[in-house]
Structure 1
Amino acid sequence: MSSTRPGPRERLLDAARDLTYRQGVHVGVDAILKQADVARRSLYQHFGGKDGLIAEVLRTSAQEDRYRTVMDAAGEDPRARVLAVFDELERITTAPGFRGCRYTSADLALTDPRHPAHTEVRRYKDGVHALFTDELTRLGHPSPEAAADQLLVLVDGVLAHAVTRPDAHPARAARRLAEHVLDARD
């Protein structure tokens, strides 16, 4: 049985996904090229440069699929589905090597408002918001859009707080707050 080595595009994505998460989006191109074991030309052929590579890493790393998978595993009850996200956040934020939210980190680190990564961050955050809005609508929540905003603030807070105070288990605290958001009736 022979294994096929991924092509340069996939190796660049894998290397950039790993290095930008561990070291941030300002990691050097040379480090990415070295880990990917590709020539500089491949970076420009496939992504037009580092900015395009970072944007593609964010586009292809969308975590709302992880949240959707967790929700699906929790069954059909919308309340249980949303709370399962916070249970998953507890698992994620207490895992070795957790470095926070790759999307928020990239958005904060990239100061050029025209950087293509910002579009991918917005797309991701909008996707998570839509995921929560759908569940809240199914739940019969009186203000699904506003409640989805609150849940997204909780998720973002967990991912940031867990970097600086991992022993505080912010996902557990956020889960209790999420229960209040879900149970609101006016």
Structure 2
Amino acid sequence: MTASTKPGPRERLLLAAQELTYTHGVGVGVDALLKAAGVARRSLYEHFGGKDGLIAEVLRRSTAEDVAEYRATMDAAGDDPRTRLLAVVDRLGRIAAEPDFQGCRYLAADLALTDREHPGHEVTRTYRRTLHGLFTAELAALGHARPDFAADQLLILVDGLLATGAARPEDRPPAAAVRELAEHIVDAGLPSAAVTTDNSRQA
């Protein structure tokens, strides 16, 4: 990388913080962040107003990337809403089984940021509202009787999958159990004829 294309202090801080807050949590020290980014302390305050602002911006950046991944996963699965939703669950199951998986950064941040007024909490709330909207839209298109409630259930299931995956249960990986639960959530609100037709199509 040449000097002309080397990221500036703001981008280096974001890259360092995105990595370190995932591997070490949002409690990682400022000195460690500055050292990893190779920037002076003043850069942190000039660009983000302090560590809290940096954490919030890292979460915002990560949520944008992850929402794009959710959309891409569903789009790659085709047009059938049931298949699109289950494709998300399958992909998360694979991610949670990866050896370097450290858990959900948003759950970890919400638990670690004890100040309820921390700006990071609004970012994670917005992220979950966005995912809820994505799930609700697919469930409504499928003709689910309670798409909003089923989306709540799927979000809880996703949180559980990612939390369990972080615990590394090598003897009992959660993906298969979560897949079956997701199928139940999706199918429970459908007319019986629709479920029969869909299941016969996958047989």
Map 1:13-162 → 2, pairs under 5 A: 13-62=14-63, 63-162=66-165
Structure 1 residue 90 displacement after superposition: 1.7
The equivalent residue for 1:4 is 5
- d(CA) in 1 for partners of 2:168 and 2:22? 19
* TM-superposition CA deviations, 1:95-151 (whole Å, max 9, x none): 121110000000000101111011011011111111100110111111000000010
Give 1:44's aligned amino acid.
Y
Give 1:98's aligned amino acid.
F
- d(CA) in 1 for partners of 2:67 and 2:169? 22
For 1:61, what is the secondary structure of its paired residue?
Answer: helix
**Which of 185, 189, 192 is matched with 1:185 structurally?**
189
- d(CA) in 2 for partners of 1:45 and 1:19? 20
- d(CA) in 2 for partners of 1:105 and 1:129? 19
* TM-superposition CA deviations, 1:76-106 (whole Å, max 9, x none): 1100000001111122111121110000000
Structure 1 residue 65 displacement after superposition: 1.8
Root-mean-square deviation (CA, aligned residues, Å) is: 1.3
- d(CA) in 1 for partners of 2:88 and 2:123? 21
The equivalent residue for 2:193 is none
C-alpha contact 1:79 1:135 (8 A) present in aligned 2: yes
Give 2:138's aligned amino acid.
E
Structure 1 residue 56 displacement after superposition: 0.5
For 2:79, what is the secondary structure of its paired residue?
Answer: coil
For 2:56, what is the secondary structure of its paired residue?
Answer: helix
Which one is further off, 73-82 or 167-176? 167-176
- d(CA) in 2 for partners of 1:127 and 1:89? 17
- d(CA) in 2 for partners of 1:10 and 1:172? 39
C-alpha contact 1:94 1:166 (8 A) present in aligned 2: no
* TM-superposition CA deviations, 1:42-72 (whole Å, max 9, x none): 1101100000000000011012221111111
Instruction: Please report the TM-score for the alignment, with normalisation by the length of structure 1.
Output: 0.96
Sequence identity, in percent?
A: 63
Structure 1 residue 176 displacement after superposition: 0.8
For 2:139, what is the secondary structure of its paired residue?
Answer: helix
C-alpha contact 1:93 1:166 (8 A) present in aligned 2: no
The size of the alignment, in residue pairs, is 186
- d(CA) in 1 for partners of 2:67 and 2:178? 18
Q: Are 2:175 and 1:171 aligned? A: yes
